C-alpha cells in the first residue's frame, strides 16, 4: 500500500493539565481546557468529560465569567511597602524628602519581599502581568518567578549628569541584561532610564543605542509635570517628547509613562514613532500632576494607550479595575463627552493593547493563547443585577470581584485563597519594623 496517498492522521489533542469547568466566556457557558501554559480549547461544558485526575487539575467555574488576566503597564512593585508612608505632598518634595531617603536603606531582599506583597495584591485583583521599574532587579525578578506572575522588569537607570556614574550605570545595566537570561521566559528585561531630569543626554543616547541593538523595550517617565516640560524647554529648547526623539529614545520600543502634558505636536510625534503611552490616572490625580491626559486625541492619532497603577506610594493600591474607572471618568470629563472611553474599550487597554505593546501572546481568551486568565464572581453584590459585565467591572466592582487567578497555566489564587499570603505579610511586617524603627 502506498502511504503517500493516505490522509495524515490528525494529531492527538494535547493532554490537559488544567480544566476550568462551566464558566462563561463572552457570555456563553464553556469549559476552558489548558495544556501546559496554553489554552488548548474552549468548548461547551461537558460534565461527562473524562479526566485523568492524576495529571489534570479541575477548577470549578460555576457562577463565574472568565476574562483575560489584566496587564499593569507601569508600577514600582516593591513600593507596596510604602503604601500610605508619604501622602499629600507635591511630586519633587515627595521624592526628595520621603521616598528617596526610604529607598536608600533598602536591600535586595527587602525588594524581593516588597514585590511579593505587591504580587499578592495584583493576583487578588486580577492582574497576571506587570511592567516594573525599580532598584535591585534580581529581587524583583526572583519575586516574580516565585509568585507565578509574568513581568517585564527595568533596573532603574539614573546618572544625574555624572559621566563616571553613567559609566557605572551602563556597565551594571548590561551585566543585569546578561544575567536576566537565566530567568524563565515569564520574566523579560527592559531598559529603564528614569526621566529626562535624572538621566543625562549622553545616558539617554546610550540607552537608545543599546535598546535598538538588542531589541529591548524602554520605560521612561515622560512629561509628568508642567515643571518638567518648562525645564526641558529651558535646557534643550525642546519639549520632553521632542527631546526624547532627538536623542533616539522615541520609537516603537518606547513606553512613555504618564505623558500628562502633551501638545498637538507631541501627540503627532508619538504616533509617527509608534511609541506607546502609559496612563496612570490615580497617581497623576493624587500628585496633582496636571492634565488630564489627552486620551481621545492620542487614540485618534493612532497611539497605543495602556494603563498602569504606578507604585503604591503614589496610588495607593494596585487594583487595575479601579484604575480603569478613573481613566474612563477622566477621559469623559476632559472631553465633555460621556461616550469617550466606554467600559469595553477600557478593558482593552489592560488586555489586548498591553499584550501588543509587550509582545506577549495573551490578552485574549482563545485556543493557542497563553493561559493567563481570571474568573470573576458573578454572584458578587456589586455585579448584581448584571446588565453589562464590562460596565460592572469598570464602574462598580473593582478587583474584589475576582475569585480565581491563573497565569501561565498555573492557579495562583483559587476561590480567594493565596497559599503563602500570611507568610509574605509577616515577613514584610518584620522588615518594615527595621526600616522605619517601628
| Domain definitions of the chain by residue range | 3-68+363-421, 70-358
| pLDDT tens figures, 204-234 | 999 999 999 999 999 999 999 999 999 999 9
CA distances to 45, 62, 123, 180, 402 from 415, rounded to whole Å, are 20, 11, 12, 33, 9
| pLDDT tens figures, 279-323 | 999 999 998 998 889 999 999 999 999 999 999 998 999 999 999
Q: Compute φ and ψ for 278, nearest 5 degrees.
A: -110, 115
Which residue in 291, 397, 297, 293 sits closest to 343, CA to CA? 397
- Which pLDDT value is given to residue 182? 97
Strands 276-279 and 304-307: parallel
> Residue 211 carries which DSSP code?
H
| pLDDT tens figures, 143-184 | 999 999 999 999 999 999 999 999 999 999 999 999 999 999
Low-confidence ranges of the chain (pLDDT < 50): 1-9
What H or E segment, with its residue span, contains residue 73?
A: strand 70-75
- C-alpha to C-alpha distance for 409 and 390, rounded to whole angstroms: 24
Domain 70-358 has CATH 3.30.200.20: no
Q: Identify any residues that bridge with 369 across adjacent strands, giving them in sequence order.
A: none
Q: Domain 3-68+363-421: give its CATH architecture.
A: Roll (2.30)
3-68+363-421 and 70-358 in the same fold = no
Amino acid at each position: 500500500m502506498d502511504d503517500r496517498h493516505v490522509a495524515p492522521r490528525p494529531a492527538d489533542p494535547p493532554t490537559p493539565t488544567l480544566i476550568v469547568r462551566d464558566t462563561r466566556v463572552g457570555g456563553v457557558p464553556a469549559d476552558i481546557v489548558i495544556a501546559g501554559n496554553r489554552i488548548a480549547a474552549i468548548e461547551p461544558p461537558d460534565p461527562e468529560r473524562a479526566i485523568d485526575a492524576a495529571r489534570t487539575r479541575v477548577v470549578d467555574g460555576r457562577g463565574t465569567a472568565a476574562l483575560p488576566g489584566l496587564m499593569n503597564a507601569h508600577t514600582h512593585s516593591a513600593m507596596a511597602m510604602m503604601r500610605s508612608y508619604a501622602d499629600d505632598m507635591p511630586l519633587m518634595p515627595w521624592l526628595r524628602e520621603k521616598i528617596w531617603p526610604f529607598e536608600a536603606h533598602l536591600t535586595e531582599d527587602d525588594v524581593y519581599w516588597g514585590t511579593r506583597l505587591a504580587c499578592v495584591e495584583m493576583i487578588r485583583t486580577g492582574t497576571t502581568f506587570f511592567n516594573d521599574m525599580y532598584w535591585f532587579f534580581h529581587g524583583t525578578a526572583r519575586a516574580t518567578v516565585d509568585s507565578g506572575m509574568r513581568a517585564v522588569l527595568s533596573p532603574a537607570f539614573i546618572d544625574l549628569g555624572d559621566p563616571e556614574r553613567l559609566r557605572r550605570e551602563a556597565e551594571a545595566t548590561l551585566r543585569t541584561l546578561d544575567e536576566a537570561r537565566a530567568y524563565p521566559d515569564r520574566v523579560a528585561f527592559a531598559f529603564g532610564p528614569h526621566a529626562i531630569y535624572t538621566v543625562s543626554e549622553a545616558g539617554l543616547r546610550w540607552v537608545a543605542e543599546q535598546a535598538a541593538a538588542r531589541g529591548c523595550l524602554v520605560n521612561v517617565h515622560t512629561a509628568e509635570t508642567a515643571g518638567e516640560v518648562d525645564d526641558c524647554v529651558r535646557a534643550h529648547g525642546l519639549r520632553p517628547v521632542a527631546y526624547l526623539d532627538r536623542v533616539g529614545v522615541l520609537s516603537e520600543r518606547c513606553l512613555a509613562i504618564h505623558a500628562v502634558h502633551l501638545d498637538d505636536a507631541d501627540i503627532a510625534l508619538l504616533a509617527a514613532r509608534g511609541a506607546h503611552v502609559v496612563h496612570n490616572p490615580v497617581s497623576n490625580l493624587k500628585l496633582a500632576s496636571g492634565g488630564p491626559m489627552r486620551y481621545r486625541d492620542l487614540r485618534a492619532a493612532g497611539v497605543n494607550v495602556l494603563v498602569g497603577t504606578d507604585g503604591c506610594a503614589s496610588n495607593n493600591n494596585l487594583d487595575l479595575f479601579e484604575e480603569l474607572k478613573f481613566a474612563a471618568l477622566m477621559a469623559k470629563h476632559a472631553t465633555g463627552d460621556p461616550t469617550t472611553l466606554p467600559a469595553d474599550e477600557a478593558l482593552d487597554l489592560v488586555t489586548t493593547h498591553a499584550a501588543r505593546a509587550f509582545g506577549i501572546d495573551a490578552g485574549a481568551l482563545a485556543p493557542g493563547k497563553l493561559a493567563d486568565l481570571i474568573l470573576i464572581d458573578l454572584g458578587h453584590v456589586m455585579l448584581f443585577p448584571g446588565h453589562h459585565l464590562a460596565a460592572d467591572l469598570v464602574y462598580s466592582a473593582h478587583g474584589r470581584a475576582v475569585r480565581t487567578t491563573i497565569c501561565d497555566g498555573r492557579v495562583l489564587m483559587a476561590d480567594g485563597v493565596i497559599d503563602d499570603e500570611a507568610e509574605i505579610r509577616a515577613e514584610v511586617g518584620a522588615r518594615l519594623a527595621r526600616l522605619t524603627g517601628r
